[in-house]
Structure formats: structure tokens, C-alpha cells
Amino acid sequence: MINGEKFLEKPIRWAMIGGGRGSQIGYIHRSAALRDSNFELVAGAFDIDPERGKDFGKKLYVDPDRCYTDYKSLIENEAKRSDGVQAVSIATPNFTHFEIAKAALEAGLHVYCEKPMCFSTDQAEELAQLVKKSGKVMFISYGYCGHQMIEQARQIIARGDIGKVRIINAQFAHGGNSAAVEKKSGAAAWRVDPKKSGPSFVMGDLGTHPLYLIEAICPELKIKRVMCSKQSFVEGRTLEDNAMSIMEYNTGAIAYIWSSSVNAGADFGFTFRIVGEKGSIAWDAEHPNQLAYQIQGQAPSVLQRGAGYLYDEARADDRIGGGHPEGLFEAWSNLYTKFAKAIDKSEKGEKIDFWYPDVNAGVEGVKWVEKCVESADNNGAWINY
Amino acid sequence: MINGEKFLEKPIRWAMIGGGRGSQIGYIHRSAALRDSNFELVAGAFDIDPERGKDFGKKLYVDPDRCYTDYKSLIENEAKRSDGVQAVSIATPNFTHFEIAKAALEAGLHVYCEKPMCFSTDQAEELAQLVKKSGKVMFISYGYCGHQMIEQARQIIARGDIGKVRIINAQFAHGGNSAAVEKKSGAAAWRVDPKKSGPSFVMGDLGTHPLYLIEAICPELKIKRVMCSKQSFVEGRTLEDNAMSIMEYNTGAIAYIWSSSVNAGADFGFTFRIVGEKGSIAWDAEHPNQLAYQIQGQAPSVLQRGAGYLYDEARADDRIGGGHPEGLFEAWSNLYTKFAKAIDKSEKGEKIDFWYPDVNAGVEGVKWVEKCVESADNNGAWINY
Amino acid sequence: MINGEKFLEKPIRWAMIGGGRGSQIGYIHRSAALRDSNFELVAGAFDIDPERGKDFGKKLYVDPDRCYTDYKSLIENEAKRSDGVQAVSIATPNFTHFEIAKAALEAGLHVYCEKPMCFSTDQAEELAQLVKKSGKVMFISYGYCGHQMIEQARQIIARGDIGKVRIINAQFAHGGNSAAVEKKSGAAAWRVDPKKSGPSFVMGDLGTHPLYLIEAICPELKIKRVMCSKQSFVEGRTLEDNAMSIMEYNTGAIAYIWSSSVNAGADFGFTFRIVGEKGSIAWDAEHPNQLAYQIQGQAPSVLQRGAGYLYDEARADDRIGGGHPEGLFEAWSNLYTKFAKAIDKSEKGEKIDFWYPDVNAGVEGVKWVEKCVESADNNGAWINY
Amino acid sequence: MINGEKFLEKPIRWAMIGGGRGSQIGYIHRSAALRDSNFELVAGAFDIDPERGKDFGKKLYVDPDRCYTDYKSLIENEAKRSDGVQAVSIATPNFTHFEIAKAALEAGLHVYCEKPMCFSTDQAEELAQLVKKSGKVMFISYGYCGHQMIEQARQIIARGDIGKVRIINAQFAHGGNSAAVEKKSGAAAWRVDPKKSGPSFVMGDLGTHPLYLIEAICPELKIKRVMCSKQSFVEGRTLEDNAMSIMEYNTGAIAYIWSSSVNAGADFGFTFRIVGEKGSIAWDAEHPNQLAYQIQGQAPSVLQRGAGYLYDEARADDRIGGGHPEGLFEAWSNLYTKFAKAIDKSEKGEKIDFWYPDVNAGVEGVKWVEKCVESADNNGAWINY
């Protein structure tokens, strides 16, 4: 049970790049990082407007001198200080992730990076090499994997409770872009702009989330080949707003991921079902405190977060006890807790002996999008991995 | 509102082929046909064992002389009687459907045939021709389409309430064959035997149900091409026990159907979601009295069977009023009611001015399975329709 | 598994009193009785209008000479025939149940009577005496108890699976009378008219249903005292449209029943939860194929109708197998099957060795309403039973 | 939309009394208060063990000199400092709330107090007077009212969307004390000890939560009289572990609250349904992001947190946008945000122009328990308010 006591002697000096006023995602990064006293927000490149950035920083108790207008000056200036930042979180538009992450790693900083990590497998491999060389910690912000029930799911698979995995049926399919909302909203506009969003809209933005949960829960599955059919239903879009992907794995398992932002009327639509030889587990991100657990021939049941019958690994993530609902903020807090632990181990030269969404998770996501796009662009042909 | 009063001057003289003692499906056919007094069970080829067949018939008030041991003698002998049967229902194992249906149509009988109608598109086209030539009525037993909420769904699409259809996500994926149950059960054994079950197990047995519901609800959609990946997860099976199919339609719409009998732990797993430009509808066969109705930007709602706000076409199928649950028996009864009306119109030379699962539905199902198998056998290639 | 084969040598000659054209409940009585060939509809007093009654009978294949205009002539004339009716179902307005049931029992007929059986405990006791004296079978139409999951619930309690029963929380609270619908609908009007509906509207019409389910599932519980608060929210109503009742039982258990027809926006609202020392069961009449089964300290589960893990007593009621939804028609059919069996045993002088909603269930319902009204009229005082 | 920027020039100097290591509730108080930078944790009486208290404080960056062993020394010593605390949160066992709250208010501190505020109406009135006299802000920790959907519910009632309120059906009924857990757990033990828990166990601990939500959502309802039946199902308990209470309101509305800790198998069981003339709203604390909204004659719908169609008052509480799940931590954070605003206004002498769980909410809860106990102890008689 987590209760907010810091476990580090000194909190990690931490900065945010992006995530300033008006950003939706900035707040949850800060809440998650600062909640348990293991991070201290000491600097930021929150905003390209210097005044607004300083004012924002002030509202967060950040020294105005350490509120920068761009990531380069942040990295450069902080490097000169004896109390300079040790870690940064990157919450900028997608097309900037690669260069910022690269610069931060090269400057010897630990990095917590929004997804997608970058746009091409080449870039992704470059970052992976850099992480390896630098020995620094890099987290990819697949925030949903911080939910306790995802840990429970992972343990269920690891212990063979539902048998060998056969089939996965997953989706992240909301309806927010059913109409041409990009004509009115800037945030919607850059997501459908190939220059800023990369080779994909919904697979990169949405589909990589269930993709990563599958990796996290079923670490033994490796994709052998993939096929994809993608569509742009709303006129004027060059990037896809809907995609159906099928993956074959080395183990004989098969998976289907539906990525969509035109699933009109659906609020969130992020779910998965993992089918094994003996039973299945299923999860819905809108109700993250529950995990369906169904064994063939038995009455279907629903595991509840915080319950005594969960595995210890899942219970360790608990913050409030059963019944009371935890939400996405707790999931992210669990990940930032891991980030702090990983940094601490890294700095002490210890082995990081727990799983987290690491740079390879970033590589996998980029590669999957690339391969799916290749398949769809080749008339839905199967593409080997 | 249906209240059981017959609408025919004289009930239709009707027989069953198959569906005897021990058959699960025989009972629902008889219940559905006899419920509203428009059919009279006057003969049957219930059983290959003459004594058991006669005893069974006796328990249903069928004249022992009209309890036959095979469909040939039934057709031959009934044809000699002035009060011989006018219509038959076929509820025998799959591999016999074609020859029985053919013989019945050739003998001038109306036919209500279990699905799959037959095993190949050639056979299917032959039956379609025969129906055309004979002028007789043929129903394919896609019983789920008799649920009121399916009619409501059809009306929603027809009226454009959710806009033009873009995406369909459907499945019929239960877990009943997760283990090698065919080693213990005869009914399970013939279903995985290519000689008796045809070129497919789960696509034919399960996937054709959502396929037909899509046809019934969205009659304007025509498949342009299809791709399929299929698996046999349980050792020793030559037919697939799992399949994922993607269909592209003439309108630009796209559909995914997951057919499976190894979805371990799932009780039924028969659901669909139809996404339009403005909203979606979704249905779960285990809770057939509800239809999710979700318009983008509005609070998601659930339409309830029997409610005053449903369309008249759906309300016409009502048998008990709102709140009280109707089940599959009512759905089938609604179809047999249509069967009686269609026969009546046919005999009077009138036009049948309502929809029902006709021989073309049978053709479509057989063709879809054939094309899916072709795709899967060609490494998941896209197959044109 | 029930498959529609009759189990009687000859079907029971049966008539309906009420339930004619326009009646909602007539159809489900007929469907349920006729479905499995153990009853034969040979006569009826369907309608006070002789022509309409005969026409209605004709549509059901009833001899016009045996379509009567009132129950008296039906009973009188059928008694003269060697093939006269053996059993009647009473589906007339509430205020006529007593006199018809009495007359039928006195004429030596078996009776299936709509609820409430009558209006006062005195009348109820008189009928109970008559049943005892005549040796005839009397069923009270608490149709919901025919659902398989109610049998499963009864078996769970009997076997002590959830321990000794402590608390019951039940309701039948729909919203159909939230406005003054009686101004527009005749059926709504007699229900709020004390002359035709008796001393209570919603407790008699709705609350007696969960009351009886509690009796059926927990036969050991006997009410010790009751208190009630009732309201007439819609102007102009003298009978209550809402009532809250609390019952204390001989065992120390306690129950709450909410009866309402002004639960605006609720479709049906008929649910119960039974709490024992170790766990609970819960049921919702709109989803009758499921029974929640929750043991303290374990993951909550949901039992599914037709599943292999149910008790044999519940599985015996099955008509279609798991997954497929059964509805209220199957529940009623199960009860009419019991009615036929009970009549058969009664006529053979055998002991009826199964439970059913008998005349005592009728007595209990009438008594409960009477006591609740007494409490409410005495400012919510506790009333001893 | 809340994004974590502080709105105060200087954060409020704040301390916690209780809520130390091992406390479940301490963490959520601290998370909620510190999240948005408007509070600063500067002191605490976390623990009666001085070493453990100091160590705990150290893990939260609290100056060891300001980690006290009891509330008296905290209040006394902080009062001497120019930078002494301005506000305290009280998270100690129930029986200490009154004296600590009283002392804090007398010392001129703002108070955030766990419920129940105290044990008797007399004590409650004394605190209410003290709040009035001191002009300080007092919040009662009814944390669930901080969920956005509660604000939405309040606005729905205020705008008359479901018409005048008629009926409320609420419960907080979990199963955690179905067995004699007090024999093993200290936390369970003091809750069933009248000396430490006051005159009631489940009504005070659980029932006051739905009671307050009703007050918050329907501020016009005032209780006229109450009746209660309570039980101690587990042997050895003197305080009730189950209670059923019925309330009549000044408006003619009626409410039922089921309080229980022996609802075996239920995880949380905290729900309410509010029925108006035209429709109903319903909420389940385990799924706090949804609010059922059902208008009679229309399809039932479910409002989703963060959606554009919610009222502005509800949307103002949003922290992450629609779809993503918020949990109890966000609800509490919303309340601490209000606490900070209220303190700020109070110190500036401005009017507090928003609702919050104030001292009167504390009075009401204490009074309700007192009256319910009086009723139950008088054989379930109605007690006037």
C-alpha cells in the first residue's frame, strides 16, 4: 500500500518540457510526479511565450529564472548548475519528441517521454541505443499500464491461470473525431497533420496503447507478422481515422486491434480481452478498478481492485483500499513512483528489477505503426516483422 | 402487438424433418411454429429409428402413420394425400440440408431451413434458382433477426438516425469448444468434421449469424472484398475453431467479424456495434431486449424493447409489453409468423412485402464462408467478391 | 431439459376466464399452457360481448358453442358435458377473482388464478379452506417464480451456500404511473380505483411479486411484524402509488420492499438481493438469465442460466441451453407444466411433491397488503402478524 | 478545468492531526490538499509515538520540530509562531473529533474534520456556534460530494430537470463486517466500540454519507420525521451492523437509507436513486464517472463525466477530460480546493458564495444518527425532527 511517504533521501530534481497552461496532459504529469514527494519540480520549458511561461511557473512555485522558453536553453542552462535537473518529462507535440528526448539523453538526463516516442523505427532504434549507452532511464508514457488491474492481469498470465494465450481482442476506439473537428480545434488539427503527427493518426495516438498493454501483460508474445486495413472517413483527412490490424505472434497466438477516432457515440472505447486455453480476462479503461475473470465452465467473475484475493504484486500498487474508486491519476502516480525508483537504482548502479514502459516499448509502438501503415498502403498485405 | 390469434383461415399443414427427441433445436422450431395457431404439426421425419420416431410423434399428437423415418418417404407419402403437408422445417445435421431442401422445393413445399443452407456457392445458387422457379417460400433459420430490437436497428439505419454506416464490429465468439469436447460429445464431433460440417466450423456455425444481422440491418451494404485469418487452436481439429474476417463494402464501409468457439469463459459472446457518421447502435444477444443507442456529443442511451418511443415496425413484434423480458423463443415465433404470412401470400399469388431471411441470405452465408476460407488458405490474402 | 413432449396420456381440458382480445395477459397464459401439449383450450369466457368472444375463440380453434359470455354460464354448461373442462385460468380484473375462483373450486375445477387472489384475509382463508376441502389444485399467477434462476436461488438458500439469511432488499418499482395516466387509459383507471383494485394499488399489484419470491426462495422465513409508509404522489389518487415496507421475520432476518409505480424513468425496477452470513444473491427481472452470486472475500460472480454448474433442480427447467436468452414466456410455461403435473397427481390421488405458488401464497399476499395498509393508516406503526 | 496552478498568493500553512503511518485516510487527505499547491504541510500531530511521528514527518518534508505527539501541543506551539499553521485536518478516531475540533476553532484555526463530527446533537450545536462566532471555516469530510457527477446531480435538481423530488432510495451497505473481524483488527474493533464510535456503528460510519449527498443534491428537503429498525447480526456487537431508516420530508418526499456492514459479498454498495415527477437520477460510488439519467417515456441514458453536455458547474471540477476515469482522490482534491478558497475568502472577509459540507452538515449527520437510534430503541417508532 502506497501512502505518500517518500522513499528517496532527496527528491529528484525534475523539469517539464511542454505541458504548460492549456495543456491537458501537463497537469496529470505534475500530479503524478509530485504526489509522493520523490520528485521536486525545479525547472520547466512550459511555454514558448516567456511571460506566460514564467507566470505559469510561478503558480507552481518554480523559480522564474528556471522557466525557459525552449528545451535547448533548459538543458543547456540546467547543465551548468550544481543543482540542475536530473530528469525531464516531455509533453510536447509528437513531432518534437525525438529531438528533445535525444538531446536530454545526450545531456545525461533521465527521460519520461510522451508517446509516440518518435516517427520511424530508425529514430526509435537510435534512442534505444542512446539509452543503452548513457545508462539513463527512459519511460514512455503509456499511462494506463499503471493501473493495478493491469499488474493483476500480468500476474494472471505469468502464473498460467488462464492457460497459454490464444487470442487477443482489443480496441481503442472513441468517437471524438467523427466530424471534421480539426477545422475548429488546434489540438485536433495537429493530430491529423502528417508533419506533426507522423505517419499515422489513430494507430499512433490510440492503437499503441492496447498494443503496449498486450506487451506488458503478455511479455512472451512477439509479433511475427501484421496486416492492416485503414480508412479516412472524414473528408479532407490524409491520415487514417480508423484502422483494423491483425497480428500473428511467434507462439501461434493472434490479436486484433481496432484503432478509431470515428467510433461515434463511444466515450472512450478502450478495452481488451485476452483469451487463454482455460479462460479469459477482460478490462475496460473507463472502469479500471475491475478486471473480468472468466474460466470456462465456471461462473464468470469480476476481480475488484484492492481486494484481498488479488496477487501481492497488484496489491502493492494500492492507494486507498477496495471499493473506493481509483482513477487515471493513481495509475500515472504508480508509474512516476517506478520512475523515481528506476532513477535511484540507475544512479546507484543497481539493476532495475521491475518492469516499466521502457524505450523498447517506444520502439515497438513506432515499429507497429510503421508496419501497419506499410500493410495498409500495400492493399492490406501481410507484412513480416 | 401479437396476441396469438391466428390470422389464417386454416392453419398451414406443416412437418419437421429432424429435430426429434434429444435435439435441442427441434423444440424451439415447434414452439415457434405452433404458438400462434397458424401452423399445425401433421407429420414428421423426426428420427431414423421408427419406434422412437413414432413415440415422439405421439407425444406431440402426430398421427403415427405420418411419422416417417426419412425425408424421402415423408415427401413421397405426403404428396399422395389430399391433406398432405404444405411446408417443412429442416433441422438435420448440416451436410443434409442441401439435398433435403432441394427435394422439398422440387416437391412444391415451402421450406424453413436450418443454416448453413448448404456447403458451396454452387449448391446455394441452385437452391436460389429453385426457389425462384417454384415460387415457394424459403426461410433460412437466422433466428436472432426475429428479435424486435433488430427490427428497431434496421429502422434506425433506414431512417439515417446514425448517418451513413462507416464501421461494423461484430462477433459470435463463445468458449464451448476451448477443450477437445468432440472426444466426448457427438454433437460436438460432427461440427468439427469437414464431411458433415462443410468447409468451416465457426464461420459457418457462428460467424454467419452476425453476417446476416448486418445484411438485415444494413441492406444497402454489399461486400466488395474480404480477408480472413483462421486458426485451429485445439489439437486434432482440421476445421478452424477461431477466425478473424475483415470485409470492405461497396459504400466504403468496413466490417470485422470475430468467429470463435474457443473464447474461453465467454458464455455467448454474440454482439455487434454499427457505427455511423453521427452515432452508433450496439446489441448483445444475451440481453436482446436492449439496444444501445449513442449519438456523438449526447449522453449514451439504451433503447428498451416494448417502449413507446420505438418505431412502429419494431413495436408490431411485441408480445408482452415493456419491462418483461422476451427471449429467443419470441424471436423465433416472430419469424414463423412471417413464414406463415409469406406462405399465405405466396399461395394467393400476392407479393411478399416484408423482409425475412430468404434464400439469398442463405447464399450470402455460404459465399462468405467460402471466400473467407479461400482468403485464409491463401495466407490471408484479400479475395474479391 | 424440457422439449415439449407431453407427459400426460390425455391433455387437460382447459378454459380461460378473461384474457380475451385486448388483454395483455391472456396471450402469455395461453402460450404457456398450450406450449407443451399438456393442456387443450376447449372453452372460454373470453369476453362479455358474445360476438367478439366467439370470433376470438374461433381464432384460437375453440368451438363457438363453448365460448361463453360469463364465468357462470361457462361453469354451469361445461359441468353438463362429459368432456367438460377440468381446469380454468382466471385473468379478469382483480375484484372478480374471489367469486370466480370460489365458484370454480366449488364446481370441482382446478384453478390457475391471477393475483391478487382476493381483497381480504377472510376471503383468502375461505378459498384456502375450499382448496383443502375440494382437493383441487390452485395456482396463484406469480409468474416470475418460474424462472430457472429463482429455482437456483431457492437451492442456494436450501443448501446454506450463503449461510443463514439476514437481510433482504427488494423492490418492484416502475415509473408507468408517474403522471395521471388513469385519465387516459381504462386499464390504468381500474388499478387506482379501490372498488376494483382492493385496498392497495402498488403493494397488491407489484409488491406481492417480490414478497412471493422471498417466500419461494426462503421458505423458512415467517413474518413476525411489518411496518409501512405509503404515499399517493399523483393528485387525485386515493390508493397509494408508492410504499415502503419493512418486515421482521421469526429468524431475526429483516426485509425491505419498495413498491412503486412512480419510479419515473425506470423501465421495470423489479429486483431483489438476499444477504446471508457468508454472501449474497441478487436478481433483476429484466435480465432473468443471470443471478449474481457474491461470497464475502471472493470475486463477485454471476451465474448464467443453462450453465453446467447450476443445481440439477434449476437445470431441469431449461428449454434452450446456455447463452440463448429465455424470457417471461418460458417462466410461465414452467409453471403451467407444474400445474399440469399437479393436476395429474391430484386426479390420481398422489402427493404433490414439489413447490409452486399455491393458495397459501395467495393468502400471504392478501394478508401482507392488509397489514401494510393497516400500518400505513396507523401512522407507520408496527403491526404484528 | 482544474490544472494544478495555485490560485493563492501564498499557500495556506496546514497541519494534520492523525493520519500518520498506517492510516488509510491520511494519505488521501494529504494528496488532496497538496495537489494544487494551495496548501503547504508545515506541521503535524501524526502519531503518539514521538520517534515514529518525526520519522513520518521527515518522509513528508515536515520540520521535525513541528511534528508533535498530540493535538494540544500542536495547537499551543504553532500559536506561538509567526508562521504557525492556519488550518488543520482532523483524521483521528471518532471519539476525539469533538474535542480537537473545538480546540482548533477556539485557537482560531480553520478546520477540516473527519466525520462524524461528534457524538451528540448538543456537541454538534456547540461546534456550530463556535464556527459562527469564530468566523472560521469548517469542512466535514464527506469526500464523495467532491465528485463532479454529484455537482451535476445538484444542478439537475436545481433546474427541475426531473421535476419535484418524490422518492429517494439510497444505501451504503458493504460486507466487510459480515464476520467478527473486530476480533482480529484494531481498526474494526474501535468502530464497534460505543465508547470510541459513539451511539452508532453503520449509520454514523456509512449512512451519513448518502444522507449528506441527499442534502447536497436536494438542499430544499428538510426531514420532518424518521423511523429506524436496526440490528446487530454478528454476535457480541452492541452497536448495530445493519439499519434501515425511512425519512419523511417537509415537501412530502420520502427517503429510505440502508446502512450496513454485513451486506456480505458486496464490495462497496454505496448508491442512490433520486426520483422526481418526471424522471430519476442514480449514481454508484464504485463508478463515480457516470450518472444515470432517466426521463419517463424516454430511453434511459447515462451522463459521462467530462462530457460537453454537462452543466458548467460540473465541468468546472474537471481535471482530465472525458473518458479517462477520475477517482476518489480527485473528489477529495476538489473539496480541498474549495477549502482553500473558503479560507481565502474568510480571511479577506468575503462571503463564501459556494456550497460545501459545512458544520451544519456535521450537525445534520449527528442528529440523524441520534434520531434513528432513538427510533430503533423505541421499537421502530416514528421520531419527529
Q: How far apart are CA A202 and CA A264, in angstroms?
A: 14
Residue D216: per-residue pLDDT: 97
Tell me the pTM.
0.97
Write out the DSSP string of C272-316: EEEEESSEEEEEETTSTTEEEEEETTS--EEEETT-TTS-HHHHT
Gap between the Cα atoms of A215 and D336, Å rounded: 38
Q: What is the CA radius of gyration of chain B?
A: 21
Closest C-alpha among D151, D108, D146 to residue D337: D146
Position of cell 367469486? C99
Query: Which residues in chain B are closer than 8 Å to D304, comparing Cβ atoms?
Result: 299-300
Query: What are the start-end ranges of the H helices in chain D?
Result: 24-34, 50-59, 71-80, 97-106, 121-134, 148-158, 186-191, 194-197, 202, 208-217, 312-315, 328-348, 359-377
Look at strands B87-91 and B12-18 and give their pairing. parallel
> At B246, which helix (H) or strand (E)?
strand B242-249
CA pair distance A287, B369, nearest whole angstrom: 37
Burial state string for C89-110 with b = 16 or more CB within 10 A and e = fewer than 16: bbbbebbbbbebbbbbbebebb
pLDDT in tens, D155-175: 999 999 999 999 999 999 999
Buried/exposed B74-86: b ≥16 CB within 10 Å, e otherwise: bbeebeeeeebbb
Tens of pLDDT along B85-118?
999 999 998 999 999 999 999 999 999 999 999 9
**Which percentage of chain D shows pLDDT scores above 70?**
100
Q: Are D91 and D114 in contact (CB under 8 A)?
A: yes
Question: What does the pLDDT read at residue B187?
Answer: 79
For A40, A284, A357, the CA distances from A141, given in Å and listed in that order, are: 19, 19, 7
Question: In this model, does residue D84 exceed pLDDT 90?
Answer: yes
Q: What is the dihedral of CA A168, A174, A180, A183, to 10 degrees?
A: -110
Task: Report the alpha-carbon distance of residue D125 to residue D131 in Å, rounded.
Answer: 10
Mean pLDDT across chain D, nearest whole number? Answer: 96
Model pLDDT, residue B80: 97
Q: Do the beta carbons of residue B44 and residue B57 sit within 8 Å?
A: yes
Q: Give the whole-angstrom CA distance, residue D308 versus residue D310.
A: 6
Q: Are B153 and B218 in contact (CB under 8 A)?
A: no
Are residues A254 and A260 in contact, defined by beta-carbon separation less than 8 angstroms?
A: no
Mean pLDDT of C110-116: 96
Evaluate the omega torsion of the peptide bond into residue B300 and state whether it is cis, within 30 degrees of 0: no
Reading the block at residue C205, the C-alpha cell is 399489484
Residues of B in contact with A258 (CB under 8 A): 169, 256
What pLDDT is stored for residue C188 in this prediction? Answer: 87
Alpha-carbon distance of B262 to B279, in angstroms, equals 31
Chains that touch B (3 or more CB pairs under 8 A): A, C, D
- Chain-chain contact of C300 with A302 (C-beta, under 8 angstroms): yes
- Which residue of A165, A171, A178 is the best one to mutate when testing the B interface, meaning the one whose CB has the most B CBs within 10 A? A178
Chains contacting chain A through 3 or more C-beta pairs under 8 A: B, C, D
pLDDT band at A197 (very low <50, low <70, confident <90, very high): confident
Band (D124; pLDDT cuts 50, 70, 90): very high
Return the partners of chain C (3 or more C-beta pairs < 8 Å): A, B, D
Q: To which H or E segment does residue A15 belong?
A: strand A12-18
Q: How far apart are the first and last CA of chain C?
A: 40
DSSP state of D63: -
Paired residues of B280 in beta bridges: B275, B294
Question: Is D226 within 8 Å of D125 (Cβ atoms)?
Answer: no
Q: Are strands B290-295 and B301-304 parallel, antiparallel or unpaired?
A: antiparallel
Please give the pLDDT value at position A226.
97
C259: its cell numbers = 413498491
Which pLDDT band, with edges at 50, 70 and 90, does A147 fall under? very high
Q: Which of A205-241 are b and which e, b meaning 16 or more Cβ less than 10 Å from the residue's Cβ?
A: bbbbbbbbbbbbbbeebebbbbbbbbbbbbeebebbb
Query: What pLDDT is attached to residue A187?
Result: 79
The residue of C1, C3, C320 whose CB has the most chain B CBs within 10 angstroms, and thus the best one to mutate to test that interface, is C3
Contacts of C323 in chain A (CB under 8 A): none
Instruction: Answer whether B115's CB lies under 8 Å from B25's CB.
Output: no
At residue B134, φ and ψ (nearest 5 deg) are -75, -25
Question: What is the number of other CB atoms lying within 10 angstroms of the CB of residue A187?
Answer: 12
- Name chain D contacts of C248, Cβ cutoff 8 Å: 229
Confidence of residue C157 (pLDDT cuts 50, 70, 90): very high
Strand partners, D252: none
A84-116 pLDDT, tens digit per residue, is 999 999 999 899 999 999 999 999 999 999 999
CB contact under 8 A, C21 and B2: no
- Residue A24 pLDDT exceeds 90: no
Answer whether residue D187 shows pLDDT above 90. Answer: no
**Does the pLDDT of residue C24 top 90, yes or no?**
no
Cα separations (Å) of B97 from B23, B66, B94?
A: 16, 21, 6
Residue pair D206/D261 in contact (Cβ under 8 Å)? The answer is yes
Q: How far is CA C33 from the centre of its chain?
A: 15
Residue-wise pLDDT for C164-207, tens only, equals: 999 999 999 999 999 999 999 887 898 899 998 899 999 999 99
Question: Is a pLDDT exceeding 90 seen at residue D221?
Answer: yes
Q: What interface predicted TM-score (ipTM) does this complex get?
A: 0.95
Among A329, A332, A334, most D C-beta atoms within 10 A, so best to mutate, is A329
Taking contacts as CB-CB distances below 8 angstroms, the residues of chain A near C300 are 301-302, 304
For chain A, what is the radius of gyration of the CA atoms? 21
Q: Which segments of chain B have a pLDDT < 70? A: none
Work out the widest C-alpha separation in chain C, in whole angstroms: 65
Q: Which chain B positions have a beta carbon within 8 Å of C286's beta carbon? A: 289, 323, 325
Sign of CA dihedral D365, D369, D375, D378: negative
Closest Cα in chain C to A303: C299
> Which of D283, D293, D301, D304 to probe by mutation at the B interface, max B CB count within 10 Å?
D301
| C-alpha to C-alpha distances, D228 to A118, C84, C272, D115, D382, nearest whole angstrom | 63, 56, 21, 21, 8
Task: Specify whether the CB–CB gap between B248 and B225 falls below 8 A.
Answer: yes
In sequence order, the β-bridge partners of residue C254 are C167, C248
Q: Provide the pLDDT confidence category of residue A363 given band limits of 50, 70 and 90.
A: very high
Phi, psi of B257 (to 5 degrees): -125, 125
Residue C48: strand, helix, or coil: coil
Mean pLDDT within D180-206: 91
Reported as a pLDDT band with limits 50, 70 and 90, residue A185 is: confident
Residue B138's DSSP bridge partners are B111
User: Which amino acid is located at D359 in the chain?
Assistant: V
Count of CA atoms in the C-beta half-sphere (13 A) of D142: 31
Please compute the mean of the pLDDT values over residues C137-156 and round it to a whole number: 98
Evaluate whether B187 touches B196 at the Cβ level (below 8 Å).
Answer: no
State mean pLDDT over C99-128: 97
Taking the C-alpha atoms of residue B275 and residue B161, their distance in angstroms, rounded to an integer, is 11
Interface residues of chain A, partner chain D, Cβ below 8 Å: 1-7, 21, 23-24, 26-28, 30-31, 34-35, 37, 56, 59-61, 174, 267-268, 270, 285-289, 304, 307, 319-330
Closest to C131 (Cα-Cα) out of C369, C342, C326: C342
pLDDT at C22 over 90: no
- Chain C residue numbers with beta carbons less than 8 Å from the beta carbon of B303 are none
pLDDT of residue C167: 98
CA–CA gap between residue C116 and residue C128 (Å, rounded) = 14
Cβ-defined contact of D258 to C380 (cutoff 8 Å):
no
Beta-carbon count within 10 A of B160 CB:
12
The closest alpha carbon to C24, from A43, D225, A37, B322, belongs to B322
The pLDDT, as a whole number, for residue A242 is 98
Tell me the C-alpha distance between D265 and D263, whole Å.
Answer: 6
Residue D186 has pLDDT above 90, yes or no: no
Given a contact cutoff of 8 angstroms between Cβ atoms, the answer to whether C231 and C240 are in contact is yes
The answer to whether the CB atoms of B267 and C328 lie below 8 A apart is: no
Question: For residues B151 and C316, what is the distance between their CA atoms, to the nearest angstrom?
Answer: 33
Which one, of D316, D323, D326, D317, lies nearest residue D285 by Cα?
D326
Alpha carbons A90 and A75: distance in angstroms, whole number: 12
| Binary contact (A309, C293; C-beta < 8 A) | no
Query: In the A/B pair of chains, how many CB contacts fall below 8 A?
Result: 144
A177-186, B250-259, D99-108 — which is least confidently predicted?
A177-186
Chain A: give the shortest CA distance to residue D196, in Å. 23
Report the alpha-carbon distance of residue B291 to residue C207 in Å, rounded. Answer: 28
The region of weakest confidence among A181-185, C251-255, D199-203 is A181-185
Alpha-carbon separation of residue C31 from B158, B329, B341, C317, C383 (angstroms): 33, 11, 20, 17, 41
User: How far off is chain C from A161, nearest CA to CA, in Å?
Assistant: 15
How sure is the predictor about A220, in pLDDT bands with cuts at 50, 70 and 90?
A: very high
pLDDT at position B377 is 96
The beta strands (E) that lie in A114-177 are given as 138-140, 165-173
The shortest C-alpha distance from B321 to chain A (Å) reads 28
Each residue of C356-384: pLDDT tens digit?
Answer: 999 999 999 999 999 999 999 999 999 99
Among C94, C115, C280, residue whose Cα is nearest residue C209: C115
Residue C338 host element (H or E): helix C328-347
Closest in D227, D254, D278 to C264, CB measured: D278
3-state percent breakdown (helix, strand, coil) of chain C, nearest 5? 40, 20, 40
Task: Compute the nearest-CA separation of A136 from chain B (Å).
Answer: 42
